[in-house]
């Protein structure tokens, strides 16, 4: 009886749900490809420097030893602002929990992590759009053109080539389809896909199914948001002098045992919490009532653009 009681305590439920993320891939492919990633302690302030916009200058010392004097002011770092991200409360009926505990919890864990991952991807896409807008690196179809072409990709590379020589193309489903058809539509006598491989470029596909439901107003209706528009792609120069042009930071969270189970009650603070409601609750569904436990995901993240000139955008309208 004691063993059964221990297995189904609230803390044990949350502990199974909150196993640490795989350290080999703690971030999504998109975040890891275009962002410098880091974590911050719960009480830590995080600052970053963006690209210097100063004019390049040199000072010549004359034969008499005289040098030109100029007043200077120190560059000031910017503090990152963390935002709270949480999922809705998901419910598991008690009879489902007692019959197949591990598989039931695994499904809900996957749902919660997938929702948080898609929101992180969306924030990165927002940064890419902001960077391309700020730098003016925005491209569209030319007159008479109907698809994304090899020439379009080369034009995007030309916009960022001075800031790095290793690239990531973040592309939608439609752009990926255009690329696959290059050899057929654009030039049947030269292999453009082989030429693509010579550009030192990695492709990250953000497909149509990648979306999440956003609840901007408490108690309001949710809005389904696409992570990346179906006709968009972004080219990112990865190895700039500042590293990758975007910054993504998760905050390590303190134990919150007073709210119920926690992801980890020892060792280093977790970056993502999935905790359970203190006691079984009554859930109403289509006039029926069920006893269930509630599960909620939570994290704190901050994002920033360090180099707006290393991002180029293409819109296939």
Q: pLDDT per residue over 245-295, tens digit each? A: 999 999 987 655 444 444 444 446 778 888 777 677 777 766 777 788 888
139 within 8 A of 314, measured Cβ to Cβ: yes
Which of 224, 226, 188, 182 is closest to 203 using CA atoms? 182
Which of 233, 255, 231, 244 is closest to 306 using CA atoms? 244
Helix (H) or strand (E) holding 132: helix 101-135
Cα–Cα distances in Å, from 216 out to 114, 221, 225? 19, 9, 11
Give Cα 114 distance to the centre of its chain.
12
Give Cα 276 distance to the centre of its chain.
25
As beta bridge partners, residue 302 has: 249
User: In whole angstroms, what is the distance from residue 258 CA to residue 277 CA?
Assistant: 11
pLDDT of res. 71: 63
Residue 289 C-beta-side C-alpha neighbours within 13 Å: 3
Which of 296, 288, 308 is closest to 10 using CA atoms? 296
Which of 91, 84, 118 is closest to 105 using CA atoms? 91
- How is the beta sheet containing 232-237 ordered, strand by strand? 138-140, 311-315, 232-237, 167-171, 201-205
What single-letter DSSP state applies at residue 240?
B
Q: Which residue has the tokens 């790095």?
A: 164
User: In whole angstroms, what is the distance from residue 67 CA to residue 58 CA?
Assistant: 11
Cα–Cα distances in Å, from 84 out to 126, 253, 273, 302? 17, 11, 12, 9
What is the mean pLDDT, run by run of 10 residues, along the chain of 317 residues? 50 56 74 93 84 61 65 74 90 80 78 91 94 95 90 95 92 93 72 79 88 70 86 93 90 62 52 77 75 87 92 94
Enumerate residues 6+ apart whose C-beta is below 8 A from 248: 27, 31, 35, 36, 37, 38, 120, 123, 124, 301, 302, 303
pLDDT of res. 263: 41
Give Cα 244 distance to the centre of its chain.
13
Per DSSP, the three-state class of 239 is: coil
294 within 8 A of 90, measured Cβ to Cβ: yes
User: In whole angstroms, what is the distance from residue 281 CA to residue 283 CA?
Assistant: 6
pLDDT of res. 4: 45
Give Cα 141 distance to the centre of its chain.
27
pLDDT of res. 70: 61
């Amino acid at each position: 009886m004691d063993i059964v009681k221990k297995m189904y305590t609230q803390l044990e439920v949350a502990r199974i749900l909150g196993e640490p993320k795989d350290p080999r891939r703690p971030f999504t492919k998109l975040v890891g490809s275009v962002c410098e990633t880091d974590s911050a302690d719960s009480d830590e302030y995080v600052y970053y420097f963006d690209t210097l916009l100063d004019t390049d200058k040199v000072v010549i010392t004359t034969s008499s030893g005289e040098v030109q004097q100029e007043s200077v002011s120190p560059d000031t770092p910017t503090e990152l602002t963390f935002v709270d991200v949480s999922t809705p409360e998901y419910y598991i009926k008690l009879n489902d929990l007692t019959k197949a505990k591990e598989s039931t919890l695994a499904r809900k864990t996957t749902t919660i992590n997938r929702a948080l991952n898609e929101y992180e991807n969306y924030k990165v896409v927002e940064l890419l759009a902001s960077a391309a807008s700020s730098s003016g690196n925005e491209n569209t179809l030319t007159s008479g053109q109907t698809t994304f072409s090899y020439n379009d990709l080369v034009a995007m590379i030309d916009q960022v080539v001075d800031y790095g020589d290793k690239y990531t193309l973040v592309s939608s489903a439609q752009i990926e389809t255009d690329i696959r058809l290059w050899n057929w539509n654009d030039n049947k006598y030269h292999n453009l896909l082989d030429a693509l491989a010579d550009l030192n470029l990695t492709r990250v596909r953000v497909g149509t199914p990648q979306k999440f439901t956003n609840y901007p107003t408490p108690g309001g209706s949710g809005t389904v948001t696409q992570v990346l528009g179906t006709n968009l792609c972004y080219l990112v120069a990865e190895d700039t002098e500042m590293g990758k042009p975007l910054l993504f930071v998760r905050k390590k969270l303190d134990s919150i045992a007073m709210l119920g189970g926690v992801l980890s009650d020892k060792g280093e603070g977790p970056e993502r919490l999935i905790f359970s409601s203190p006691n079984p609750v009554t859930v109403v569904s289509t006039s029926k009532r069920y006893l269930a436990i509630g599960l909620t995901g939570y994290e704190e993240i901050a994002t920033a653009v360090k180099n707006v000139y290393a991002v180029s955008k293409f819109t296939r309208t």
